[in-house]
Structure 1
């Protein structure tokens, strides 16, 4: 039944079921790979190094795919630091993060876009699309700064809600850069965590975590403020956005 008591159309029901199954699949995949850790990253590193001079490109491709199936990004980034050092390794990690964002976004759009729109309703979905066009890029950047949120899971959600692929790629590049350096540098310094590089990485991580906390707080307050707007105030805010 819909909100007004009328029967839910069969097409909408099928979209909702498909979205629910997709979400359940992602959660199961997250547990199996991200929690149970069935993927051995050491084996991955050995396979990558066997490719010789193409190892950085191979690691970008493999790491992007592994990130999309919820292998923890910090572990992949640290492996990049061990294999390629802090400089090249940071670029390898960063492009891997962009690849993961694009892969997850495309899968999320393909598997969950229709279901998300059907669940929200056409009017809300259109309003969300308009918001995405204006603020989707910075939503992706902001999410990358918030600690504790899976980048892959967020990318699937962004794809389902229609964030364009270019915004995913650019947002992942901007938002992932600090953490790419942090975890790669720590991986490169694994034998000497008292080295200046390790201290620098820890300092950058602290700054990023603080910035992420402010981003999360500001986003939550903005969301609460929008939900508290009266219909007339919401209309005025929309007019201000359109004129800006």
Structure 2
């Protein structure tokens, strides 16, 4: 094989390696350019509640598929609408179906981002991350991937998208990565879906409720559960840091 052929082969390998990342960047641009990324808000969902519920009732499987797909793409593309979509899942589909849909959507989105980062990141990028302030994160993926990832998934306000990319760059084992992501999504998906369903019930009785809505059981119980999960996950993070 000539030097020219080797150079061409190397160039094509680099291009192919970056295709998943480029497709993901394209999806991000499309979501913002279409206005969909900024239109996804709980206020808009509430304002269009009647139409959305009618569409879900008319074609529940299609609506659920679209919801899961949108959740996955938004998660992978770093569009910060996960909280809104978790609430919307319970609001539109009910707490149990909403929980399942958000777990599947967030896990698929995390897999897409992981694959894109893993293909794009070469040895040079991984070596650079290992020498940066990310080296602790990279070491955690190597030493105890499932436990470490599960802790990161449960910690409140953890940078979900950055963890996906870092895990891909570090080449964290795929099965523990998927398992920890799916298990870690359960508590928050469950709580926010129930909260969304509770808010939906409250809005049916009063479209413009006051602060007393927080005292209603269907809203107060999910908020209490959220506080407890945040407390427990905070303790888990501190324990992980001392190990």
Q: For the superposition of Structure 1 and Structure 2, which TM-score range results when normalised by the shorter chain?
A: 0.5 to 0.7
- Equivalent residue for 2:225, pick from 201, 204, 224: 204
Measured after TM superposition, the shift of residue 178 of structure 1 is 0.5
1:112-162 alpha-carbon deviations (Å, 9 max, x no partner): 25343332579xxxxx98864551111111011111122122111111111
Q: 1:8 corresponds to which residue?
A: none
Q: 1:39 corresponds to which residue?
A: 38
Question: Any stretches of 5+ residues in structure 1 without a counterpart?
Answer: 1-14, 16-21, 123-127, 223-244
After TM superposition, the structure 1 = structure 2 runs for residues 44-63 of structure 1, keeping only pairs within 5 Å, are 49=56, 52-54=59-61, 55-63=63-71
The 1-side partners of 2:147 and 2:222 are apart by 24
- Equivalent residue for 2:73, pick from 50, 65, 71: 65
- Equivalent residue for 1:105, pick from 107, 114, 118: 114
The 2-side partners of 1:201 and 1:171 are apart by 23
After TM superposition, the structure 1 = structure 2 runs for residues 95-244 of structure 1, keeping only pairs within 5 Å, are 95-119=104-128, 132=141, 134-191=143-200, 192=202, 193=213, 194-222=215-243
Instruction: Describe the SS at the equivalent of 2:177.
Output: helix
Q: Would you say how many aligned residue pairs link Structure 1 and Structure 2?
A: 193
The 2-side partners of 1:147 and 1:205 are apart by 10
The normalised TM-score by structure 2 is: 0.66
Instruction: Describe the SS at the equivalent of 1:190.
Output: helix
Instruction: Describe the SS at the equivalent of 1:148.
Output: coil
CA contact 1:100–1:152 (8 Å) conserved in 2: no
The 1-side partners of 2:140 and 2:240 are apart by 14
Q: 2:206 corresponds to which residue?
A: none
CA distance 1:85–1:195, shift in 2 (3 Å): farther
CA contact 1:77–1:183 (8 Å) conserved in 2: yes
CA contact 1:51–1:58 (8 Å) conserved in 2: no
Query: Over aligned residue pairs, what C-alpha RMSD do you find?
Result: 3.7
Measured after TM superposition, the shift of residue 209 of structure 1 is 0.6
Question: Any stretches of 5+ residues in structure 2 without a counterpart?
Answer: 1-13, 15-20, 132-136, 203-212
Q: 1:239 corresponds to which residue?
A: none
1:216-238 alpha-carbon deviations (Å, 9 max, x no partner): 2123333xxxxxxxxxxxxxxxx
